[in-house]
Structure formats: structure tokens, C-alpha cells
Chains A and B, each alone.
Chain A
Amino acid sequence: MTGDAPTGTDVGSRPLTADELERTLPGYEGQVVDRIEQPAKPGLTVDPATVLPDLDVPFDGLYEHQAEAIAALQDGANVAVSTATASGKTYIYGLYFAWLQRRRPGATALFTYPTKALSGDQVTELNDLYDDLGLDVLVEKYDGDTPADRKRAIRDRADVVVTNFAGLNVYLPHHHRWRSTFADCELVVVDEAHAYTGVQGMHVAWILRRLLRVLDRYGSDPQLVCSSATVGNPVEHAERLTGRPFALVDEDTSPRGAREIVFWDPPAGDGGSGGDDPLAAAEAGRSANAEAADLLAHLGLSGVRTLTFVRSRQGAEVTAKQAERAAGRHPTDGYLSVRPYHAGHGKETRRGTEHGLKSGTLDGVVTTNALELGIDVGSVDAAVLAGYPGSRQSFWQQLGRAGRGTDDALGVLVARSDAIDQYVLDDPGYLLEDDVEDAVLDLSNNVVYAQHVLCGANEMPLTDDDREWFDVNGAHRPADDGNEEWSSDRSGDPQSVQDRPAQGRLPSDGRGNPPDEGRLDAAVGMWKDAGKLVGDLDRGVQYAGPPRPEADVDMYATTGERFEVRLRGDGEIDIADLARGRAYRDFHPGALVLHDGVQYEAVALREDTPNPYVELQRVSTNEYTRTQHTKEVTDLDRREVVDLGGGYRLGWGMGTVNVHYDAYTRHEIGSGDLVGGPRPLEVPPVDLRTGVTWVRTPPELGERVLDGIPGEDLLAADAPLGEREYTFLGGLHGAEHAMIKLAPLELHLSKSDLGGLSTLSHPATGGPTWFVHDAVDGGVGFARSIFGHASAVARRTRERVAACDCGVQGCPSCLMDHQCGNRNEPLHAPATVGILDAVLDRLDDG
């Protein structure tokens, strides 16, 4: 219902460019700081008959990349397709399967998607495709929503089963029920493969190996398709996920309309009260969400159908309301119809919203990244991103939701005060660079690995033959006996793909590393000692633990030990179970928790029961809490150390990170003023054995860096450190923070799974050092990937910190971080720049 808004049938009159926005937005205050114009691009098509001569394809042309991918599949290759949203990836494997079934009647396929919503959407699209082709191919969704009385029929009859990995994890032990699907399985599709990184990616990689192993026992060796949004390493990622070699199709030949991308800097806040917490002060400024709501209202009332992306469910709800209110203030005095959309809504609600967008009854939708994936939303004119979504891949994916086919489109990035947003605003060209972030997937986490070994044994006895699936790399042996003074040569870039066989199975992890002989033996040995496995690999190792080991797999965590979040008294609260560290940090008794706009206080934390939990109680205060911690890194097991010369070293390895959340403080919302604490916390320290990357500098660097800093800019001394030492520490600490904050510019990882530590002298390195570590037990490969991309990450970090126009102690747009356990003290921006310059000099020398 666009009401009496300008209906804008004439495309030219709608604000789809920066100029038009500047001209038409009421009260425009110069927010447009940059723009990128992308010209229209025609599609390249071929006659479908060239690759699918015996199918009656119901459209005029196939895009060239679709035809190329289908031809590669027909040649027997596994194919990694990495192209933009709406470039017709579904049709590649959909049509190929139709072709395949013609040749091998009875062939079946498994298509996987990361969400149930996307599965539902794709089932409809695929069934429509096969109807149009006049083929009798039955596509069925099979997941947690499938009614029990339908399951058997689907297993027995469907040609294509559409499911997800959390589902496969629990279906695999019942493989005998799946005989008819598994015995004829010729194609396995992993759609949106870029979504599987980090901890979830590790689980998916092992579930895929378990699946391929079971299929192998049923005599099936399916072809694989991994489709993904654009990532920097699509083939490497697909190979790591599956352990098989892949051919690449990444040239997008679908057509595109003209698009203008506008970079929008919200006006600075009215200063706020300042207070003693710059983080809070920054938040008091005009938020990206509020600004996006105004834009949405203006665009919607101008007849521009708009998708607005925000970062949280609560943000989606609030921003949708704000947009409707903004419409009331708008000079056109129009009525605007906007709905929020996120995974917290029921299926019916979400369907209704999707339909409203498609049919045009809605002017706009405010969504989380739930609509970033390929759910069909019809034709949307503009995408407004409230905050940089954290990666170029997501950025393009979200922008790509606007402008279907050859329609012109508008994209607006409304920047937040975050370091990464400000980096993009400084240098929008970054978004157009050829390299996209690499997807980070690391299989070396033994905690996750060992869980899936148990699941595999429960599915079928493990034998020597299973080394193919389970002797996959990970436990990289130490570079040396731990002597830091030893140096390796620098040729071995740990992220590079070595030569790999063109066909057949990779003998390894998909990275070209040799198989990790002995890893399966070690895991089996451990579980036998623990009583969970019996037998030997010679004859068969069987599972002997409590029923359903797969139930202990948590796709988003490495260990089964989780804290449930309860609400005191009646009622429930929808917060996913917490890892121990998170529970201690954010849910300790006395912690204030904001969830979906409602404030709670944690009132209990119990772990002396079989099912540990935290308990919340609703409160209403004008305060928030911050938790302080002390941290140590010990027992470094060095895996690779690069001697950069002159006392500089870059290292990666496994270490024990000991975190003690020992106190918390209460602050007033808005001003950030301290109103209580620090109060001591009664939780034990947490030990993580995890991946650690470190940069060690010579002690003399301090003098050099400080010599370039005027005396009045030094930090006040903080006993026992003098002002010079304390300032230098501020530089190291700043480098640690900023590198973590800006690593997502190079690597597709989540910074909340990283932590750090800076010190003027560390016993293991014998000098000033900052550490960046994975915040997940067993490691998640993030710290290691920063080691592999240290030079690029350090350069981006240096650029942002140097460009920030705040004072010497930094700000949230450069050095400050919410998760700092030390209240963002000390931080020193010029010292950080000086340190990074020195390190970059060394890194670039090699």
C-alpha cells in the first residue's frame, strides 16, 4: 500500500542516484561523502541446446557461466561456482541433475542450504523448474520441520532431498533408512558454501566427510557442487570443505542494470554529555539505524522499494518503526508500509513479508542478514546498509538484492563509527579491489575433530580405510623444539594452495598438505582410553559410549559444555546456550544483559550441576556493565616462526590462554560515567588451548617510536610504568586492538572469535609482544590466517589508525574496543602507527 505517495512509474523521477538524494532528501546535511557508479552490463547467453540438447529448457538462453559449469559437470568434474547473487546458480545444478537423471534414471541428489527458510524457497523454485521442463523429478525438503509421518515417504521416493547440515548430522547414524537415497546418490550440492567458515565451517567439513564416507559404503561417489557468493578462495574453500578437487567457474555473465553506490556519513551527534567513556559517547551520536530509517522513509515515499539491512533483530524491529514515524514527518505526508524481517519471526510471518515485498504491497523491509541469502524477494530498487556488514562478500551480496535483472538500482552504505566502517568510507575503492576476503576454514581443531570421529564410528565401524576421510591435516607439527631463536625461511606461505591432482580425491585436506598420518590413531587411542570406542582399526573400531554422540555436536561451538540461559520465574528467553568464557564475561551475577531491547540482570550462574545454567531477571536501569579481566598466554607450542631480522619476529602456534574475569563495573548509559565498582567476580579462570599469532619487536623499538612523539602527547605515567613505557605499551595494545578490528578487511572471519594480549615483555618471546588468539577451545584458524596475511592486515590497520582524526588516545573508529578487558587503557594512536610502520618495513623487506 503505497497510499498517496508518488507512485513513481517513471523511473527517472525516483531518487536512485546520489545527486537525486542530495536534491530531494528533506533536511539534507551533506551526508554523501562518496559515490561509485557501476554501468549497466549486458548478459552473455548461449543456446541451451549446446549443453542440454535433449532437455526442453523453457527459457531463451543460458548464461555463459551456467553453460560452462554444466559442461564441466558433464565432464565429471566437481564444480565451485562463485558468482553474484541472482546469477542463476540454482539452475546450474538443477539443470545438470535433470540431464543426469535422463542418463541414469533413478539417480538421486542431496542439496544442502544453510537455513531452513532458504531450503523451502529453493524447493519451490526447483519443483517449478522441473515442471517447466516437463520432467518427473520430485524435490522434497527434509529437515526438523518435516512431519514424522512424511519422512519415510520422502526418503524412499524423493529424487532430490533438500536439507541442511545440522539435519545430516543427526540423520547419518540412521543411514540404513536412507538406503534408497544413498545408494543412488550422484550429486551433492553445498549451496552458499561461503557461509561455512569458522567453527560452523569445521563442523560442516566433518559432516560432509561423514556423509561422503557413508555414501561410499553404499557404493556412491557423487559429484559435488559448491556454490558461493564471491570469496577470494572459492576453490580452496570448496576443497577444504569436502576434501575433493574442484574446477572453478567465477565469471559472472548475467546481465545487470546500472547501479549507484552512495557512501553516507551520518551527522555527528550533538556531542552528548561526553562522560568518561568514549565508546558510550560515540554511541550517543546519530546512529546508523536511525539515519537508515530516514532514508528508507524517503525512498519508500518516493516509490523506491527498499531493503534495509541492519545488524540485529532488535535493530530490525526498531528501525522499521522509526521509518514509519519518519514517514509521518516527511513533507509528502505519505503513509509508508514497512515490516521487519528476521529469523526470530515465524515461518508464516516471514512468508507474508516476502510476499508483500514481491507483490509490491510493502514499500520496504528492514532485515537482518536473514534476507542476504538467496530467498526470492522479487524486484527491489534500493538496498540501504546500516553499517558495513563486515566483509566485501556480504556487502556485495546485500547490495545485490536490489536491482533484479537489468533494472537500475541504488545502494547506500550508512557508516557507523566503527573502525572498519570508517576505513571503507576513507577508501571506497577498497570495495572494488579484485581480491575478496578469503573464507577461513581450518580443520586443525582437535576438539571438533574428535567429536566427529566418535560420530563416524557410531555410524559405521572405523577401519584403516577410513584414513581417507579422517587422517586429514590439522595437527601441524611444531616448527622446531620450541626454540624461538630458530628461524624458518619465509617461502612457505601457509595459506597458499600447492599443486594438486586434477582429478580424483585429494590425498589430504584440500590444501595440498600431506595427510596427517596418525591423527586418526591418536583420536581413536584417546577415545579408547576414555571408554568411548572399542576395537582397533585393523578389524573395526566401534562406538561404545552413551547413545547419540551426534547430539553433542553444537554447530556453533567446539565443546559440548554449554550454559543454558534461563529466566527466573515463569517465562522463557530465546538466547542460545553460552560457552563458558562468554557466560563468565557477560552473564556473571550482577551483569546487565540487553536482549531484544529488554534489560536483564544475571542473578545466578550454576555449574555444579549436570546442566549448567545462568539465570536472568528482568530489570530496568539506566546502566550497563563492563567486565574486566586479566589474561596470560603460556605454553606456546610454536608451529611457524618467521625471523624478520633485527629482533622482529612473527609467529604462529598453539598456546594456552588463561583468562580470569575478575571484576566488573557499572556505568550510566549515555554518559558512560562510572556509577559502581569495580566489584570482584567469583568465577574461576578459564583456560583455552588455542591458536595464537604473535608479533615480537626488539625492546629498542620503544625508544625509536617515542622519539617521534612530542612530550606533551605522552600518556601520564601509571605506576610502576613511567610515561614513556606506558605510552609504548599503549602503542602495542593499540596495534593488537586495531589488527583484530580490521582483520575482516582481508579475511572472512568473525572478530568476536578473536582476542588479544599486549605486553612490554613476554617470557616466551623475550621482548615487547602482542598476541592475537582464537577465542575458541582448540582454535578456529583465525589467528593462523592473520599470520598468513600479516602484512596485508597490518597495512590496512596502519592506514585506518593514521587516517583517524581523533586524539592520541584513539577512539572507537580506530583503537577502542568493547571487548577490551582493560577498559581500553592504555591506547596511543601515534605509537601504534610508529610500531606498525616499523613492523611493516620488516614484513615488506622479505
Chain B
Amino acid sequence: MSARLTALSAAHLDRLAPRQVADCLAYFDPDAVVLTDAAAGEATRATQAGPLADVEVLAPNPPPYLANRGLPRVIDAGGVDVVVPASHDQLAGVAVLEHEGTVDPATETYVVSDLLEVAVEPTELAARLDGREAYLDALDPGALDGSYTHVAVTAPPSYRRRWDGMRVVGGGTPESEVATLSLSPDGTVCTRSIRETRLGLRAIAGVGATTAARLRERGASEPDDVAAMGVPDLRAVDGVGRGRAEEIADHATAIAEGRVVVSDHEGFPDPDAEPIFLDVETDGLTPTAVWLVGVLDRSRRDGQATAGDGRFRPFLQRDPDADGFAVESFLSWYAEHAAGRPVVAYNGREFDFPVIERHAAEHCPELLDHWTTAPTFDPLAWARDGHAALPGRTNGLSDVAAALGWDGDDTGLTGAAVARRYRRWCRERTAEAELDWDRHVEYCEDDARALARVYDALARADPTAHDRGTGGGSDAGSMQGRLTDFS
């Protein structure tokens, strides 16, 4: 349970076609859209909302004649109250709302506004939260019973910071992405985002803004339409050569039909070698701790017995001081029981593999050779290298696996949120801060099984006739470094 808010700026509304906005809303299915700047509000008022007609629209920054009176707007969704004060006067009304029982002090309440702004002064090595004093004066937190989180639409959506006890979360929009915040009753805030290039026809690898426009001129408005065109018709589009037509056709087909399209199996692990499927949990993007290495070691595949024993093995490190324990336990096990078998991880080339290597070198150098000689395989990187097209709205594992029919647990948590929890555990080391380890192990197993599903689909697919060669998908901008996406 959570309230989902999708943030849109004037720049988004300017850049994105109405169809792309609709596509974005279909993907996130938000409870409301937050317009992050006044210009976005004007744009939507001018166009009578357009694609936003069917969704609740919150504008924390309306013109003054709308902002300076009455109580702030409140919506109740996903078990939480979201308050949208458009001015300091309205912010002062939060106490009234609490007093009247409009907001429930038992669950987290989220205050969405543009009244706070984070600013840095690098010459002084100092940062400020502009507007803090006026904000606190108006809010008067001492008089409130409930717990409040303050969503600043001026800050990027990955932003989390406590300023003098005030929890501030970013509710803005990053460049070239659309972000959605999930606000939970327990105060957990997760951010998911989708790149603009994954919206509308541009979701198809090889289709940029220009090609998308030309495809629309030819009557294609959905990936299905593009898939139906076929390579010869695609080649007739200006600026599309043979290689790209094939790339577009493959990916459109993958999306439209919810299956993988494999051009060749070059570089794919030997079908006789049963891989192990790996997923790691860390404390961040350049992790100081790998606290869970989960390994799925299947005993059967397609009804056939394999080398594995069918277990999911979590190598878990609960003790913040036992640095390297999870990686070391995993590598000891691998060296003894699975040496030489391919290790498969999703986005492993960019994240899991180098992270394990670095932590092994640091904490258990005696086992490093076992790791550096292990064959590794990253289905995402392999697909991007031009060997296959994956279905799914994004290249994220959950989207791809879901498109292939995998029905996983929706944990409601992102990798970034889990990393934040682990960091808190390390910092506070209280019972309250301790993670629900079993739950995280379950999530990890779920991801490893989703990965196995994707892997099997790739292994089984018949290569398409045409030879695309390498060169990679157009979406090579990698997931590395995207806090909202990594898992």
C-alpha cells in the first residue's frame, strides 16, 4: 500500500507528445500527478489538461489568487494523506487539518510543496535549505501530533535528507526522465523512474525522436503496429538502414508479443552448463557493503535434472562489522561446489561482477582467483550487444520478466530504498533499525528466479534468420548509476 505521485514539469509537457504522457501514466498508474513548476500548471490549464484529464492533478504552485486562502488540498490515497499547501498560509492550515481529523496522525502524512529549496554554495562548501525558517514558522511542528514527510518539488526525486529533524524528500523531476514516488504509511518513500526515451514508439530500440515521427506519419502508433510493418517496410522509412530496420523489427516484436527475439547465440553459455543465478544486495551504488549474495542453484530445468541441488542459497551478512562476509562465504561455496559453472547476473557486467571482484580483492584476496576465472554472463549486456531484443516496458529485470509472464512478488521496494535501510541499520544498530532479513532474502530469491526465467527464454529462443551483427541497442546508456533502477 502506498500513494503514487508522478512528477511532471513544464519541460516534460513541452517535450513529450500527449501519447507519451498517456503511456507514462499507463506505466506508473499514479494516484495523482504533481506539476513541479508554475509553468506546468499554466500549460495544463491552457490545454484543458489534455492527457491529464483522467488523473488527479496537484499543483503546489498555482497563481497567487488561488493560493492565498483556505486550507491546503488533501488527497487520501494508498493509506496515506497527501497535503498540498500552495502558500505559507495554507501550510499553517496543516494543524487545522490534523485537529479536524482530516489527516490521520497514525500514518505518515506527506506535505508536497515548492516552499523548500536545496541550494549549494560550492565556494563555501556549504548547502542550504532555502525557505526553511518561513516553512517551520508556518507549519509549527511542535503543535502537531502526527509524523510528517516534506516533499520538495524543487529537489530531484532521489533526494532524502533530514534537516533539523525535518524529513525532506525530493519530488522533482530529473533531466530526461519521469519519476514516480511511492509514499507508504510507514514513511518509506521509493522512487521509480522511466527514461523519456522509453515512452511511446521510442521505447523501441533504434527509434529516436525523428524516426518515431516518421513512423507515426506512416500510421504506426504502437509497438504492435511497428512489429507488423516488417523489415522491408521499415527500411522504406527515411534514414533507416538494414541493420537498424532489423533492430527495430526485433525489438518491436519482442515488446508486442511479450517474448525475447534472439538473433544468435554467440557468447551465450554452453547449453549443457547449468548456470547459477546470482543477485546481490548492497548498501548503495558504489557499495561499501555487499550484505547479501543470493544464489539460485537449480536442480531441474525443462524437466531435466541439472548439476544443481535446487536450493536458493542466501549468503547473508547481518553484522555491519563483518565486512566481506557474504562475498567470502559465497566464493568459498562456489570454489568448492560450483567451480567452473557460469555465474549469471542481470546487469552483472556493470554492477554485480565488478562489485564482487572489488570486495573479494579487499576482503578475501585468497579467493579472488576463483572469481576472476569464473565464467560470467549478463543477459542484459548480452542483449544490448546486439544478440537479442528483450520485451518489457523498460530493461529492468522486473519489467522484462513480467512481460515474459513471470508473476513475482511486488515488494514495493527499490534497490535504493533497501540500501538506505541497510545504511540506517549500520548507523543506528537498534532493534527498530534492523532489517527484516527473512523478507529481504525472499525478495532476493524472487529476483533470482525471475532472472532464471529470462535466461531460459533466451536459451530456448530460435535465432532469427537475419544476421544483425553487433553494434548494440540504441539504449546503451546503461543502467549503471541509476539509483532508482538498480537492484
Q: Which A residues have a C-beta under 8 Å from some C-beta of B?
A: 176, 179, 217-218, 446-447, 449-451, 457-461, 463, 475, 519, 522-523, 525-531, 534-536, 539-540, 542-548, 559, 610, 654, 689-690, 777-778
Which chain A residues border B285 with CB–CB below 8 Å? 542-544
A788–B163 Cα gap in the complex (Å)? 42
Which chain B residues border A689 with CB–CB below 8 Å? 121, 123-124
Separation in Å of the A749 CB from the closest CB of chain B? 20
A335–B288 Cα gap in the complex (Å)? 69
**Interface set, chain B 111-144, CB cutoff 8 A to A:** 118, 120-129
A693–B297 Cα gap in the complex (Å)? 69
A546–B285 Cα gap in the complex (Å)? 11
Separation in Å of the A64 CB from the closest CB of chain B? 43
- Report if B354 contacts A (CB, 8 A): yes
Given contacts A475-B125, A539-B320, contact A457 B118 (CB under 8 A): no
Given contacts A531-B155, A531-B161, A536-B427, contact A526 B286 (CB under 8 A): no
A218–B354 Cα gap in the complex (Å)? 13
Query: Are B127 and A544 in contact, CB atoms less than 8 angstroms apart?
Result: no
Which chain A residues border B128 with CB–CB below 8 Å? 529
**Interface set, chain B 132-180, CB cutoff 8 A to A:** 155-156, 158-161, 163, 170, 174-175
Separation in Å of the A636 CB from the closest CB of chain B? 14
Query: Are A544 and B158 in contact, CB atoms less than 8 angstroms apart?
Result: yes
Which chain A residues border B423 with CB–CB below 8 Å? 534-535
Query: Are A610 and B11 in contact, CB atoms less than 8 angstroms apart?
Result: yes
Q: Indicate the size class of the contact surface on chain B.
A: 35 or more
Separation in Å of the B328 CB from the closest CB of chain A? 18
Separation in Å of the A482 CB from the closest CB of chain B? 15
For B362, the closest partner residue in chain A by CB is A217
Query: Are B287 and A542 in contact, CB atoms less than 8 angstroms apart?
Result: yes
Which chain A residues border B155 with CB–CB below 8 Å? 531
For A546, the closest partner residue in chain B by CB is B174
Given contacts A536-B427, A544-B483, A548-B481, contact A530 B127 (CB under 8 A): yes
Query: Are B125 and A450 in contact, CB atoms less than 8 angstroms apart?
Result: yes
For A457, the closest partner residue in chain B by CB is B286
Query: Are B125 and A543 in contact, CB atoms less than 8 angstroms apart?
Result: no
Query: Are B286 and A176 in contact, CB atoms less than 8 angstroms apart?
Result: no
B285, B289, B357 — most chain A CB neighbours (10 Å): B285
A67–B125 Cα gap in the complex (Å)? 46
Q: Is the interface of B mostly helix, strand, loop or mixed?
A: mixed
- Report if B480 contacts A (CB, 8 A): yes
**Interface set, chain B 266-292, CB cutoff 8 A to A:** 283-289
Which chain B residues border A526 with CB–CB below 8 Å? 120-122, 125-127
Separation in Å of the A363 CB from the closest CB of chain B? 47
Q: Can you list 25 A-B contacts (CB < 8 A)?
A: A176-B357, A447-B123, A450-B125, A457-B286, A460-B358, A461-B287, A461-B288, A475-B125, A522-B126, A526-B120, A526-B122, A527-B120, A527-B127, A529-B127, A529-B161, A531-B118, A534-B420, A540-B288, A542-B286, A542-B287, A547-B480, A547-B482, A689-B123, A689-B124, A778-B123
Query: Are B283 and A542 in contact, CB atoms less than 8 angstroms apart?
Result: yes
How many contacts between A and B, using CB within 8 angstroms? 109
Query: Are B288 and A544 in contact, CB atoms less than 8 angstroms apart?
Result: no
Q: Which B residues have a C-beta under 8 Å from some C-beta of A?
A: 11, 118, 120-129, 155-156, 158-161, 163, 170, 174-175, 283-289, 320, 354, 357-358, 361-362, 420, 423, 426-427, 478, 480-483
Which chain A residues border B482 with CB–CB below 8 Å? 547
For A219, the closest partner residue in chain B by CB is B361
Which chain B residues border A457 with CB–CB below 8 Å? 286
Given contacts A176-B354, A542-B285, contact A523 B120 (CB under 8 A): no
Which chain A residues border B286 with CB–CB below 8 Å? 457-461, 542-543
For B477, the closest partner residue in chain A by CB is A547
Which chain B residues border A548 with CB–CB below 8 Å? 481
Query: Are B158 and A535 in contact, CB atoms less than 8 angstroms apart?
Result: no
Query: Are B483 and A530 in contact, CB atoms less than 8 angstroms apart?
Result: no
Given contacts A176-B357, A461-B287, A542-B284, contact A531 B123 (CB under 8 A): no
If A523-B125, A690-B123 are given as contacts, then 11 extra A-B residue pairs at C-beta distance below 8 Å, sorted by A number, are: A459-B286, A527-B127, A531-B118, A531-B155, A534-B284, A536-B427, A542-B285, A547-B480, A654-B123, A778-B122, A778-B123
Separation in Å of the B349 CB from the closest CB of chain A? 10
Q: Which 3 residue pairs of A and B lie closest in terms of their CB atoms, listed nearest first?
A: A540-B288, A547-B481, A529-B127
For A183, the closest partner residue in chain B by CB is B361
Which chain B residues border A446 with CB–CB below 8 Å? 122-125
A459–B286 Cα gap in the complex (Å)? 7
Query: Are B480 and A535 in contact, CB atoms less than 8 angstroms apart?
Result: no
Separation in Å of the B351 CB from the closest CB of chain A? 11
Query: Are A542 and B174 in contact, CB atoms less than 8 angstroms apart?
Result: no
For B482, the closest partner residue in chain A by CB is A547
For A448, the closest partner residue in chain B by CB is B122
Which chain B residues border A176 with CB–CB below 8 Å? 354, 357-358
B121, B123, B127, B160 — most chain A CB neighbours (10 Å): B123
A547–B476 Cα gap in the complex (Å)? 14
Query: Are A450 and B122 in contact, CB atoms less than 8 angstroms apart?
Result: yes
Query: Are A531 and B124 in contact, CB atoms less than 8 angstroms apart?
Result: no
Which chain B residues border A559 with CB–CB below 8 Å? 122
A552–B379 Cα gap in the complex (Å)? 31
For B120, the closest partner residue in chain A by CB is A530
Separation in Å of the A262 CB from the closest CB of chain B? 47
Query: Are A531 and B170 in contact, CB atoms less than 8 angstroms apart?
Result: yes
A458–B362 Cα gap in the complex (Å)? 18
Which chain A residues border B161 with CB–CB below 8 Å? 528-529, 531
A530–B482 Cα gap in the complex (Å)? 17
